[in-house]
Amino acid sequence: MSSHEYQFNVAMSCSGCSNAVNRVLSKLDGVNDIKITLEDQKVIVKTKDNVSYDAVLNQIKKSGKEVRSGEVVA
């Protein structure tokens, strides 16, 4: 089964911020893996094939954090 990997630069200043992002992403159906690096303000999300970039982006925005940039890695 194929999958996607998306990378986002998200404004996160503390572990509470990264936990909020992690919490909303874990509620999204089809998310396989979430890696958040607070120092780099980077969020890497691996999903099933049927989860679009926009779906992940909109889910991160639900956390109230600013998404500075994003890209499709795979």
Question: Which element (helix H / strand E) includes 56?
Answer: helix 53-61
Q: What is the pLDDT of residue 1?
A: 61
CA torsion sign, 58 to 29 to 17 to 38? Answer: negative
Residue-wise pLDDT for 23-73, tens only, equals 999 999 999 999 999 999 999 999 999 999 999 999 999 999 999 999 999
pLDDT at 22 over 80: yes
What is the model's pTM? 0.94
Q: What is the pLDDT of residue 56?
A: 98
CB neighbours (10 Å) of residue 44? 15
pLDDT at 2 over 90: no
